[in-house]
A and B are shown apart, each in its own frame.
Chain A
Amino acid sequence: MDEKGLKNIAHALMQVYELKEVDAERLVKAFFETISEGLEEDQYVRVAGLGTFRQLVADNVSGQILFTPENRVQELVNKPFAHFEAVVLNESVDLEHLNAVGDLLASEEKLTEKDEPVGEEVKIPDHAEEKPKKTVSVEITEHASIVAESQELEEQAKTVRDSSMRIERQKFPLTDGKERDGRLFFVLIVLIGLLAIIAALVFLLWPEWLEQQLFGST
C-alpha cells in the first residue's frame, strides 16, 4: 500500500515539533489507530478539523464506515470548483443532444473500464457512487463535441487540401515530356501558318510596296 501521503504528514509533523522520523510516524499511526478503536467502542468518532466517522450498524451494511467531512474541510477540498454556482436553465435550453453524446461516451467508457483490473477494496454502495452514472456529464459531452468538431475540421481541411491539389494539377498538369513537346510543335505550326497567311495577303494586296521594300527604289 502506498504510504507516501502518511510519510508526508509525518515529515511535516517532524519539522514542526522537532521529532524523530520514527516518532512522527508513530504519532500519525496512533492518530488513525485511535479512530479505529473509537469506532469499535462507540460506533462514531468525531475528530475536530477533519469530520465524523460513523459505523453503519444495519445488517446488510455491517462493517461499513461512513465519513462525513466538516463543512470547512469540504469547502477546502472543493476550493477549485468553489466559484461555480447553480444556474436556472431557460425553457429554450435543450440538453437532449448533449445527453445523447454523453450516453455514447459513457458506454464507451464502460467498455474501456472492463479491461481495467479490479481492486482489492469492496465498494460502499452509497449515493455518491451512483450519481455519476445517473447524471451525464456536460463536461464529457463538451469534450466529445470538441473532439467531434476537431474531426470535422480535419475532414474539411483534408477535402480543401484535395481540391486544391486537383486545381494545381489542372493548372500545371503533371504530363510527361512527349506531350509537352507535341503541344509546342502545334503552337509553332500555327504561328508559322499565321505568318505565311500574312505574307500571302501582303503579296496579294500590296505587291508594289513589297517590291519596293525588297529590291529598293530604282
Chain B
Amino acid sequence: MNNQLFINKLSDKVGCSPQEASAIARYIAKAVVEEWQSEGCLCVPEFGNFEVKKKMECVSIDSETRQRVLIPPKLVLNFKPSLALKARMKKS
C-alpha cells in the first residue's frame, strides 16, 4: 500500500477529504518523529513500540586491504510490534 492509498483509506475511516487526511497524516508523522527525538520511545497500544537505540561504535575491517575503520555510534529506530498486531498478521 503506497502513501496515496494509505491517505485514501485514512480519509474514509475518519470521514474527511483526502487533502485533509493528507495534511493530518503529515502532521501526525511529524509529531511522531518529534516524540522519538525528545522521548526516545513511543508506545502505541495494540500496534507496537518504537524505540530509539544507540548502536555502539565498532571497528570495521576491509577484508581485502585489511584497513581498519572506526565506525561512529549511531542512533537507530527500532520497532517492536505488539502481540495483538502480530496475531492479526498471522491470521491474515
Contact = CB atoms under 8 A, between A and B. Distances in A.
Contact of A31 (B28, B74, B75, B78): B28
A77 B87 contact: no
A122 interface: yes
B55 to A, nearest CB: 6
B72 A13 contact: no
Interface residues of A, number: 74
A201 interface: no
B48 interface: yes
A108 B73 CA distance: 22
Q: Which of under 10, 10 to 19, 20 to 34, or 35 or more describes the interface residues of B?
A: 35 or more
A135 B14 CA distance: 46
Contacts of A42: 1, 5
A37 B57 contact: no
Contacts of B27: 12-13, 16-17
B69 A86 contact: yes
B63 interface: no
A77 B72 contact: no
Contacts of B89: 39-40, 55, 62-65
A89 B77 contact: no
B56 A135 contact: yes
B81 interface: yes
Given A46-B3, A50-B29, A73-B77, A87 B47 contact: no
Given A5-B44, A41-B92, A50-B29, 5 more contacts: A6-B43, A9-B32, A35-B6, A36-B47, A87-B72
12 contacts: A6-B45, A13-B28, A33-B13, A36-B46, A47-B3, A64-B81, A65-B48, A73-B77, A87-B69, A121-B82, A134-B58, A139-B56
Interface of B: 1-3, 5-6, 9-10, 13-14, 24-33, 35-37, 39, 41-50, 52-53, 55-59, 67-83, 85-90, 92
